[in-house]
Structure 1
């Protein structure tokens, strides 16, 4: 069971120290030479930058109206009752800029919050406001209001990590209080987990539990190399498989949130898959990892730069690309209009290309496609239909019965896998449109009128 660390989970400051390994030569932080090895000096430097975030707000709760009561509302009575209920939650955050008061956390920690309170390690409390969020990667940027004497953390380079590197996770599991756990980097570039839309996680066996959301994953030098985000385990408990958003990815997203208040993704314009042994053998490539380009979209940034189908992307801006999901995550966080260097294998030789990413126009307001979809926002769903990312309460689309996270698979039986295909399908359709939807594990048809 994949369990995202939810907003009901807690803070991030540190307290206890944990022995890491008997091989003291690999641990650079000690007390005096005649004392037992300890991480305490590093933690004393880092902990003031890790904060507790408490939130309040209201969320919609949907309840099915029992059939026996529906007759009170007439033959067309509602099937669901929507109510707003107050909620409170705790989460973690990391101060990345003391002068500006910027705090990074997970989007799900502050999602829907109307009040955000940040508590520092020394007990001081400040109100915070949201600068910007990105639910596709689960990153949010806050700004502490009227903060003084703040301490930030040094941000490391996550692309330098290796499997086996020691790491320390900082958080407040189950509301117990400041807690530090330690472990190693278990794996890199984890994706396909279904936790977030954009995934390129660091996997660690450092104990991460409910309460660590938005907390810090640091190296033994005290450098931030990840934002703790999710766990894999029964009932939200730790089984040694935790995931963190890499710091390189976080930095790119935060830079856009600071500049624009939102993430403006760039698009490369290629389709493909992982480089497999069979593909490498067929193309006579001396490589065993990379992103194999199966198709270059016409007039895309990739096409204009000279990339071709059959190329294997092995690096972006000098950082190794191991899988196609790795490529998607890196490109998806760089930002529209940014230039990057892509290294490919072509005919057995390395070649470098400069690519300027174009704006991602896959997210659209659906009313531009069909008037019955007013109140809906859509986004491509990785070539697997088009997903409803948000829907306004009481909108035309909501009255038709559409819901957030519904995936549009076909229009009048014409399959769609992108916004452009959906737009064309609506253009070809008549005044009555039958949408084939996937909702959870079920499929259904919904008929729209008024096109």
Structure 2
């Protein structure tokens, strides 16, 4: 018995050392050989009221893919598509108790007609959506409630691999659940290359329903918003991802100031730094973002960045990959002044850059409206301002609707559209009928899509 107690004591002491000062301020009343066993319970009692459960309800339109020769056999309801109700669950984090601001994932509340926030004490509130950003998977909600608890925001740039993490959320709708782990990796990307990704990877158990929940450090501070997992059946296998809180801070600040996200643009193309590239350009590590091209008139060109440069730091914080640089620049916002540390000819130089505003280009039209599936659209940069149809897949809904490559969409449902942002606002609510005013060569015509 004496030997087993000594083993327990060793385990308790090693755990206490790993948790640092937490064990002194958060000791559990149980003891082994006079030593307090460490516990997260006191910390969690302070922070769990700031993590909420989110339930959503809405309707989705499912469209019938009916070949053109047979469409006249079906009624308008079949062509328009059936509306099917849906429900979903997720999590959220209160970041401002006085104003009732709650952060969650875009994919948790997307297309929801009703959003309910349930506090840890069981009280329910209807939430208003303040703003959202699909490409970074962030949404900002607001509830009208008193005596809320908010979570303090950490500096996620200070994170290191091996730091302890705590995940809190609503997995599988079970209710508030706490898991723990460590930071497994930083700067992860590649889950969806169209989005801006710079994930914290953790082995704290994250499952379906944890999306939008909190990832904390051992000070009870928010370090990230849980957003995705890798798992064969949608379950936890110890590979979860969270959006760093510094990105969240930048995005929410833009949403609150402008009502939308105004992305920063550096004006370069590039890629990851390979060992061969690093050696060829006089760089002694693989960390950094390699610049292939600098766009004419861009913020990077004006600051003096050149093709062949290796960007190693942003605002004196190390950059590991090009994807990390891309995500951080985009979420910092237009007009921000940043410093870039660059390796050129084996020597470090620092450049000050004022970011320009990025305009969205080249997106799959299906994300805007199901009837446009098969078309690739971008903001027209020619004399005629509108939305350019860059490509139309054969036999797609867009092709059957009469769209052709090179068309410029000038208006939708009597609203003038000058770029992708205008188009998105007009068809945000997915209207059943789209009346498109199109410029095709020298001709002006209409296409009505149902």
User: Where in structure 2 are the equivalents of 1:119-134 lying within 5 Å?
Assistant: 119-134=118-133
Distance 1:312 1:142 in 2: 39
Change in CA separation of 1:309 and 1:116 when aligned onto 2, cut-off 3 Å: same
Question: In the alignment, is the contact (CA less than 8 A) between 2:15 and 2:38 conserved in 1?
Answer: no
Question: Aligned-pair distance for 1:266?
Answer: 1.4
Question: In the alignment, is the contact (CA less than 8 A) between 1:101 and 1:144 conserved in 2?
Answer: yes
Question: Aligned-pair distance for 1:129?
Answer: 0.6
Distance 1:222 1:162 in 2: 16
Distance 1:188 1:98 in 2: 29
From 14, 24, 34, give the equivalent of 2:16.
24
Question: Aligned-pair distance for 1:304?
Answer: 0.6
Distance 1:240 1:105 in 2: 22
Which residue number in structure 1 is paired with residue 373 of structure 2?
Answer: 403
Distance 1:239 1:22 in 2: 26
Question: In the alignment, is the contact (CA less than 8 A) between 1:159 and 1:319 conserved in 2?
Answer: yes
Distance 1:134 1:438 in 2: 31
Distance 2:347 2:69 in 1: 71
Change in CA separation of 1:246 and 1:389 when aligned onto 2, cut-off 3 Å: farther
Question: In the alignment, is the contact (CA less than 8 A) between 1:339 and 1:357 conserved in 2?
Answer: yes
Q: Secondary structure at the match of 1:59?
A: strand
Structure 1 residues 300-359: Cα deviation after superposition (integer angstroms, max 9, x where no partner): 000111111111111111111111101100001000111111111122222111111111
Question: Aligned-pair distance for 1:62?
Answer: 2.3
Distance 1:389 1:330 in 2: 27
Question: Aligned-pair distance for 1:35?
Answer: 2.9
User: Where in structure 2 are the equivalents of 1:251-290 lying within 5 Å?
Assistant: 251-290=249-288
Change in CA separation of 1:439 and 1:311 when aligned onto 2, cut-off 3 Å: farther
Q: State the superposition RMSD in angstroms.
A: 3.1
| Pair 1:163-2:191 in alignment | no
Which residue number in structure 1 is paired with residue 364 of structure 2?
Answer: 387
Give the unaligned 5+ runs of structure 1. Answer: 1-18, 364-378, 381-385, 409-418, 428-432
Distance 2:171 2:258 in 1: 33
Name the stretch that deviates more: 321-330 or 350-359: 350-359
Change in CA separation of 1:66 and 1:344 when aligned onto 2, cut-off 3 Å: closer
Q: Secondary structure at the match of 2:64?
A: strand
Question: Aligned-pair distance for 1:439?
Answer: 11
Name the stretch that deviates more: 89-98 or 22-31: 22-31
Question: In the alignment, is the contact (CA less than 8 A) between 1:407 and 1:439 conserved in 2?
Answer: no
Change in CA separation of 1:425 and 1:258 when aligned onto 2, cut-off 3 Å: closer
Which residue number in structure 2 is paired with residue 154 of structure 1?
Answer: 152
| Pair 1:117-2:116 in alignment | yes
Distance 1:106 1:95 in 2: 13
Question: In the alignment, is the contact (CA less than 8 A) between 1:271 and 1:294 conserved in 2?
Answer: yes
| Pair 1:340-2:338 in alignment | yes
Change in CA separation of 1:439 and 1:355 when aligned onto 2, cut-off 3 Å: farther
| Pair 1:191-2:189 in alignment | yes
Question: In the alignment, is the contact (CA less than 8 A) between 2:269 and 2:292 conserved in 1?
Answer: yes
Question: In the alignment, is the contact (CA less than 8 A) between 2:288 and 2:312 conserved in 1?
Answer: yes
Distance 1:184 1:200 in 2: 17
Question: In the alignment, is the contact (CA less than 8 A) between 1:105 and 1:141 conserved in 2?
Answer: yes
Question: In the alignment, is the contact (CA less than 8 A) between 1:407 and 1:438 conserved in 2?
Answer: no
Question: Aligned-pair distance for 1:390?
Answer: 4.2
Distance 1:130 1:98 in 2: 16
Question: Aligned-pair distance for 1:214?
Answer: 0.3
Distance 1:320 1:42 in 2: 31
User: Where in structure 2 are the equivalents of 1:37-436 lying within 5 Å?
Assistant: 37-65=38-66, 70=71, 72-73=73-74, 81-145=80-144, 147-194=145-192, 197-361=195-359, 363=360, 379-380=361-362, 386-388=363-365, 390-392=367-369, 398=371, 402-403=372-373, 406-407=375-376, 419=378, 423=381, 435-436=391-392
TM-score by length of 2: 0.78
